[in-house]
Structure 1
Amino acid sequence: MCLLESVVAVEQESAHCRVTVSNLGVLAPFLDAEGNLPGWFAIELIAQTVGVWSGWHAKKNGEEESLVGMLLGGRGIRCPAGVFPQGAGLECHVTLLMRDNKIGSFEGQILADGNVLASGRVNTYQPDNNELKQLF
């Protein structure tokens, strides 16, 4: 299930994706009664932006693409308002902090109209296809 609507840019150490909080978009099934997206979706939006970064680089480098990445955890994930408001155009940014073979650490921010609505760090693991066969 992809919660992002578009890829804006992928650079050597960063990625930028977009999604709109709308009852007509990909986030519609997850909106509350007021049409807002609960703040705890921040970690998933950041993680999926990392997935875009990872997939783009794998393809660019001629590596075997993996369909699954694993979120090991989040640190300092904050969404002070508790929700992403209905109608907000969310700009999801991630920046690579550290990468060691299959493990990566990324700083993420989610902005709307230039204001930071959520931020935090995620740690990820990129299994190869042989590892995925063992797991699933």
Structure 2
Amino acid sequence: MAAKPTFPPVAELLPHRPPMRLLDAVVSAAEGEICCALQVAADGRFDSAGSVPAWLGLEYMAQAVAALAGWEAHQRGEPPRVGFLLGTRHFETNTPRLPCGAQLQVSARRLLQTDSGMGSFDCQLLGPDVSQRARLAAYEPKDLENYLEQPGHE
């Protein structure tokens, strides 16, 4: 029987730091795709009356995209890099709120990636009574400091 793959802690794959690191662990990863686990937190940042707004699912998805990039960087022996969520298309949700304490899985699958760092990803957030889908556009500059020094990024 093959050993179950192990993954580094999410903290090693994401450039996010607490309290904005929202993913708990990588469940699986393969070429161009990743699945991560999270528990919807009741910590005062986003919750109200026992739930968080459904739009927070987009941030979970964006962090899954970042975890995919971080996993691939880890495979190359590189640190994770900062990327930017550019937008979303076709966001679908079956609920206006996500219950605090819910155990969810968020996945990201790369649809395309250009040499310049632009990418498109099909994402899902699933759990008990939760089903969300979206297509995210993201950008990971090769040289963040040079990118931020360009006019318009003050």
| Other structure's SS at 2:50 match | coil
- In the TM superposition, 1:19-98 aligns within 5 A as 19-23=38-42, 28-32=44-48, 34-63=49-78, 65-66=80-81, 68-98=82-112
Q: Which runs of 5+ in 2 are unaligned?
A: 1-19
- The match for 2:126 is 111
1-structure distance, mates of 2:42, 2:74? 33
Q: Do the aligned residues in 1 keep the contact of 2:94 with 2:130 (CA within 8 Å)?
A: no
- Give the alignment's Cα RMSD to 1 decimal: 2.0
Q: Do the aligned residues in 2 keep the contact of 1:107 with 1:121 (CA within 8 Å)?
A: yes
Letter of the structure 2 residue corresponding to residue 86 of structure 1: C
2-structure distance, mates of 1:128, 1:3? 24
Change in 2 beyond 3 A, CA 1:63/1:30: same
| Other structure's SS at 2:111 match | strand
Greater share of helix residues, 1 or 2?
Answer: 1
Any idea what the Cα deviations from partners look like across 1:32-57, whole Å, max 9, x if unmatched? 1x211210111111000000000111
Aligned-residue sequence identity (percent) comes to: 31
- The match for 2:6 is none
Paired residues, number: 130
Q: Do the aligned residues in 2 keep the contact of 1:103 with 1:125 (CA within 8 Å)?
A: yes
Please say which of residues 126-135 and 68-77 is displaced more in the overlay: 126-135
- Ranked by relative contact order (alpha carbons within 8 Å, sequence separation 6 or more), the top structure is 1
1:126 to 136, 140, 145: 140
TM-score by length of 1: 0.84
1:133 Cα offset (Å) = 4.6
1-structure distance, mates of 2:78, 2:60? 24
1-structure distance, mates of 2:147, 2:80? 12
Any idea what the Cα deviations from partners look like across 1:75-104, whole Å, max 9, x if unmatched? 011222111123211100111111111111
2-structure distance, mates of 1:43, 1:49? 10
| Other structure's SS at 2:107 match | strand
TM-score by length of 2: 0.75
| Other structure's SS at 1:128 match | coil
Q: Do the aligned residues in 1 keep the contact of 2:95 with 2:130 (CA within 8 Å)?
A: no
Letter of the structure 2 residue corresponding to residue 122 of structure 1: L
